[in-house]
Structure 1
Amino acid sequence: MKNKLLIGTLLLCLGQFSCSDDLLVTTDPTRIGTDLFYKNETQFLQALNGVYGQLQNITSAAYIFQEFPSDNTTLDFNPLDRGGAAGWEAFEFSTVNQGNGEIANVWNLYYSALYNTNYTLEKLAGSTLDAAVKAPIEGQLKFLRAYFYFHLVQYFGDVVLVTSTLDKPDKAFELVRSPQADVWAQIEKDLKEAVPLLPTSFPASQLGRVTKGAALGLLGKVYLTQKKYSDAVTTLKQITGYSLNAVYSDNFNPARKNGPESLFEIQYQGGNDLGEWSTFAYVFAPRLSAGAVTGFANTTPGGRNIPTNDMIAAYEPGDLRKDASLKTSYTLNGTVVPIPYVIKFTYPHTITGRTDNNWPVLRYADVLLMLAEAINEQSGPTAEAYGLVNQVRTRAGLKALDGLDKAAFKAAVLRERRVELAFENHRWFDLKRTMTPAELTAFMNAHGAREKAKPTVDRGGIAFNALDYVYSDYEYFFPIPAPQILINNKLTQNAGYQ
């Protein structure tokens, strides 16, 4: 993403508060103050690009919070280095606590992005930009704010809801968590306001920006998550102009970015020194695979997001998506190593560690499956609902579904979502959306028991901890980071983490 402008939280003093001390009234000739910025379309687009840029950091670690907690993925266990045990590994083993560093990081990433979003929206509202120029910028920012809160409310439940910047620093210590209902209402409001402001498409030079279709897609998902099925159906049926790629893997091929199936994807660019590259292939490759997976030797892949035995078994015989999504082994120095790995984001690239893969957020296949689910919840498995899900299955080389009752159709759609959207950060939210906390607890403990009995990856003789894969219903939400409660004692902790 070109012209990325990261407007950091240090603007708190520069942009919001009066700093009267003469020692602070200095001018850095290499920086532009906020009083001189936000004056024209170019500058607002730079500020908007800054928020898009923050999406990259959020997305690069999202698998930790949206795939690891589920039954989709595990890790290539390293018995010689347990440094990640208290951090990212805890999300796989259901041992997350309020002191977890990844929890603190994700909270900070989202609220930093929200600050910049709110600040830019405020400046935009007071600007003299032409309404036709202002509208799509406002629409994109409101979509992004809704997207951030869509994650936060599902991660943490009640969260701090802020839609404006603060005029005094002391007010930050008065913030409290808002009820989930209020957060969902704000998400809906932002998206409904964004839809009419956004174009159906942007010029080729601006591919990847949020469009009307993306806002409708997220709004439909918001309604589905809240079980507002009628609203979900009405909204999702407004999405037009998209189609399934003929070849499933084209959704992930860097040479076919932002294709006909893409409603929204996070933009990355490899092969240069611009700092916009992705690294998913390296993070997801088995840790001792060296260059066998990535193509570059003398590297140490992350061994994260490893497909579980359960995930591998979820594919029906003949499903064309399996070979485009994962491999069950790699070959190094002539030896076959039986460790599975995600291949969706593994493509040839020119510079070590700098891949060109975008990350899909909303695809038309997702829309079809959401719509089929919502129709079934309203009316049972109608011909229309079958037609939607069978479009996805036909591309995968599978026979059409037929003859199911409402419950069986719902289960079939959830299974279809699992394999169609595998490793794209949908599974955890899908499980939470379709199960009560008690049901999810039983489901995850059953998965954990299978993983303990037959680990996907050999653990090198290291036994499981007694608390590993022991899931409790309070883990339906993550804990509020301990540092945030230390900073602001008005914030409460989620039950179970006390």
Structure 2
Amino acid sequence: MNTHMFKRVLATSMLTCGLFACSSLVDVKPKTAIDSSTALTSQEAVNAAVNAVYDALQSTDLYGRDLIAIPEVLSDNGRATNNSSRLVAEYQNQPGSHLINWTQDYYGINQANLVLDALPKVTLTDAQRNSYMGQCLFLRALMYFDLMKSYAYMPTAIIPEYNRGGVPLSLSGVLTLPQVLFPSRPGIDEVYTQILADLTTAIDKLGATANSRGPAYATKGAAQALYSRVALYAGKYQESADFATSALASGVGTFQSKTTYVAGWRTAVNPESMFEVNFQTSENIGVNTSLQTTFTTLVTLGNTATTGGFGDVVPTAALLADLESEKDAAGNVLDIRRQLYELGTKGRGAQNIETTKFLGKNGTINLDNVPVIRISEMYLNRAEAYYRLGREADAIKDLNTIRTRSGLTEKTGLTGTALLDEIIKQRRLEFAFEGHRFWDLKRLGRDIVKLPTNLPFTDYRVLARIPISEINNNRNLKQNYNY
């Protein structure tokens, strides 16, 4: 699998003895580096190697920017401003302009596999071994899920004549070129089965893991929450509902009230986070591609006199209309989530309404921890799952938990398609600019209605293009249709 990536990593490591695949034993420096399987002979080395898997998620191609920003701009939530020319092609859904997470995700998967391979050989306590195994399996599941979202159809909505299967599975680490395999693409269901199996084991192994380190680390509750999301995408609705219930009871993440929700977005760690990617001061992505510069020109709230970022992606008129669709008798917008959007500066061109979900919350411009799973999602996952299971009264109850928290009145009497549409609308409003919208439309098989042109679900551009280098190096790997 993934020959080009491993050749690149191996070649780089021979020069720099970098993140992994060094052929000789070296000291594990820094503490988030993994050098080779021979280095994984102590608890300290394993701990550093696990931290390296977390750090892989910080890549701009992953949660540093793309997995959050690009699903917004590919869909009907985000509009590219052309302030820096970045993400304009993605906004226009041009062929080949999509997610490019293939290499970085497989890089992180290989790191996780190297740790999993080494764990039986290292002297550790049972608690340590279980914790490291659970964390690596959670991270591997997350990265495979992100690959499947980008490069494959979801089990709930498939165009059979365009379907080329899932993504290659590799469950063992690779250190040398002779270890590299050339697998084909397994079926979609096979990959989802593996993802859910990883999460099942992770939940078991993380059972005794303390939550004291915060949402930057995998926990049982985070694994249950991710299971709920994956099961929803896979059409396993009873499992999605059950694991959402377990996640809500886990004690990981704190559901916010109407009066505290917006403030939660102003703190370094969002109190609703069940899992988030943590950035230290030295890991600042910078003014070109951070989430702050991508989403806003503001440096601080309300200050339109000082320009910071580029504001490359701003909310569409349709998203703002949905946020403002419910008002009181005096014409005031009821939805408190609208407070997370405000007028930017004129420093990059036209002045736009921008999201402020990412605004240097860690105390430094362009430096933000990135929520990957928030506890609010569990209510909406369960609401949709209940609807699919015919439990409409339960679905409305969970839906209203989100609505009333958001300052909206309770819905009563909704049924059928109207109920589902309201659940999906609340998902749109709740997770706007958090990287959900494109995937929700894709798993539902819905067309994307947007300017400058619509993107029908039947269009091949719904799937990302597998890197050409991967196709050239592995004759067993089939490219997605029409690329």
**Structure 2-normalised TM-score?**
0.81
* Alpha-carbon shift at residue 296 of structure 1 (Å): 9.4
1:143-162 aligned at under 5 Å gives the runs 143-157=138-152, 158-162=166-170
Three-state SS of the structure 2 residue aligned to 1:177 is coil
Q: Contact conserved, 1:372 with 1:389, CA < 8 A, in 2? A: yes
Match of 1:280 in 2: 291
One-letter code of the match for 1:364?
A: I
Q: Contact conserved, 1:314 with 1:419, CA < 8 A, in 2? A: yes
Match of 1:193 in 2: 201
- Match status 1:62 vs 2:64: no
Three-state SS of the structure 2 residue aligned to 1:361 is strand
Query: 1:174-201 CA distances to partner (integer Å, 9 max, x unpaired)?
Result: 2222221111011010000000111476
Structure 1 stretches lacking a partner, 5+ long: 1-7, 20-24, 453-467
| Distance in 2, Cα, partners of 1:410 & 1:267 | 34
- Match status 1:485 vs 2:480: no
| Distance in 1, Cα, partners of 2:27 & 2:254 | 50
- Match status 1:269 vs 2:274: no
Match of 1:53 in 2: 55
Match of 1:95 in 2: 94
| Distance in 2, Cα, partners of 1:230 & 1:30 | 45
Percent identity, aligned pairs only? 25
Residue among 344, 355, 378 paired with 1:330: 344
Alpha carbon RMSD of aligned pairs, Å? 3.3
Query: 1:79-104 CA distances to partner (integer Å, 9 max, x unpaired)?
Result: xx75x4xxx4322111132xx5x75x
Q: 1:18 to 1:308 in 2, by over 3 A?
A: closer
Q: Contact conserved, 2:79 with 2:91, CA < 8 A, in 1? A: yes
* Alpha-carbon shift at residue 141 of structure 1 (Å): 0.5
* Alpha-carbon shift at residue 428 of structure 1 (Å): 1.1
* Alpha-carbon shift at residue 276 of structure 1 (Å): 5.0
1:148-187 aligned at under 5 Å gives the runs 148-157=143-152, 158-166=166-174, 169-170=177-178, 172=180, 174-187=182-195
Match of 2:355 in 1: 342
Residue among 138, 142, 158 paired with 2:137: 142
Three-state SS of the structure 1 residue aligned to 2:372 is strand
Indicate the structure (1 or 2) with the bigger Cα radius of gyration.
1
One-letter code of the match for 1:419?
A: L
One-letter code of the match for 1:330?
A: G
One-letter code of the match for 1:361?
A: V
* Alpha-carbon shift at residue 136 of structure 1 (Å): 1.1
Three-state SS of the structure 2 residue aligned to 1:393 is helix
- Match status 1:388 vs 2:398: yes
1:2-17 aligned at under 5 Å gives the runs 9-10=9-10
* Alpha-carbon shift at residue 209 of structure 1 (Å): 0.9
Match of 2:81 in 1: 76
Query: 1:104-156 CA distances to partner (integer Å, 9 max, x unpaired)?
Result: x5211111111111111111132221111110111010000000011111111
Three-state SS of the structure 1 residue aligned to 2:389 is helix
* Alpha-carbon shift at residue 347 of structure 1 (Å): 4.7
Q: 1:360 to 1:167 in 2, by over 3 A?
A: closer
1:88-487 aligned at under 5 Å gives the runs 88-97=87-96, 103=99, 105-157=100-152, 158-166=166-174, 169-170=177-178, 172=180, 174-199=182-207, 202=210, 204-205=212-213, 207-239=215-247, 240=249, 241=251, 242-246=253-257, 247-255=260-268, 257-259=269-271, 261-270=272-281, 274-275=282-283, 279-286=290-297, 297=306, 299=308, 301-315=309-323, 316-317=325-326, 318-327=333-342, 329-332=343-346, 337-347=350-360, 351=364, 353-355=365-367, 357-382=368-393, 384-435=394-445, 440=446, 443-444=447-448, 447-448=449-450, 451-452=451-452, 469=454, 471=456, 472-487=458-473
Q: Contact conserved, 1:252 with 1:358, CA < 8 A, in 2? A: no
Three-state SS of the structure 2 residue aligned to 1:264 is strand
| Distance in 2, Cα, partners of 1:254 & 1:292 | 13
* Alpha-carbon shift at residue 306 of structure 1 (Å): 1.2
Q: 1:492 to 1:134 in 2, by over 3 A?
A: same
Q: Contact conserved, 2:22 with 2:36, CA < 8 A, in 1? A: no
Larger mean Cα displacement after TM superposition, 469-478 or 302-311: 469-478
Q: 1:205 to 1:367 in 2, by over 3 A?
A: closer
Query: 1:58-91 CA distances to partner (integer Å, 9 max, x unpaired)?
Result: 201213442221101011124xx75x4xxx4322
| Distance in 2, Cα, partners of 1:171 & 1:207 | 35
* Alpha-carbon shift at residue 434 of structure 1 (Å): 1.8
| Distance in 2, Cα, partners of 1:331 & 1:95 | 29
Q: Contact conserved, 2:69 with 2:434, CA < 8 A, in 1? A: no
Match of 1:459 in 2: none
Q: 1:319 to 1:118 in 2, by over 3 A?
A: farther
Q: 1:26 to 1:395 in 2, by over 3 A?
A: closer
One-letter code of the match for 1:77?
A: N
Q: Contact conserved, 2:266 with 2:361, CA < 8 A, in 1? A: no
| Distance in 1, Cα, partners of 2:214 & 2:119 | 20
Q: 1:28 to 1:222 in 2, by over 3 A?
A: closer
Q: Contact conserved, 2:296 with 2:310, CA < 8 A, in 1? A: yes
Q: Contact conserved, 2:74 with 2:438, CA < 8 A, in 1? A: yes
* Alpha-carbon shift at residue 412 of structure 1 (Å): 0.5
* Alpha-carbon shift at residue 482 of structure 1 (Å): 1.3
Q: Contact conserved, 2:25 with 2:35, CA < 8 A, in 1? A: no
One-letter code of the match for 1:393?
A: R
| Distance in 1, Cα, partners of 2:366 & 2:43 | 31
| Distance in 1, Cα, partners of 2:178 & 2:41 | 29
| Distance in 2, Cα, partners of 1:16 & 1:52 | 14
| Distance in 2, Cα, partners of 1:481 & 1:263 | 32
Three-state SS of the structure 1 residue aligned to 2:274 is strand
One-letter code of the match for 1:225?
A: Y
Q: 1:243 to 1:406 in 2, by over 3 A?
A: farther
Q: Contact conserved, 1:254 with 1:358, CA < 8 A, in 2? A: no
Structure 2 stretches lacking a partner, 5+ long: 1-7, 153-165, 327-332
Query: 1:174-231 CA distances to partner (integer Å, 9 max, x unpaired)?
Result: 2222221111011010000000111476364555211111101111111111111122
Q: 1:348 to 1:253 in 2, by over 3 A?
A: closer
* Alpha-carbon shift at residue 28 of structure 1 (Å): 8.8
| Distance in 1, Cα, partners of 2:352 & 2:37 | 55
| Distance in 2, Cα, partners of 1:38 & 1:360 | 30
**Structure 1-normalised TM-score?**
0.79
Larger mean Cα displacement after TM superposition, 186-195 or 301-310: 301-310
| Distance in 2, Cα, partners of 1:250 & 1:165 | 42
Q: Contact conserved, 1:266 with 1:359, CA < 8 A, in 2? A: yes
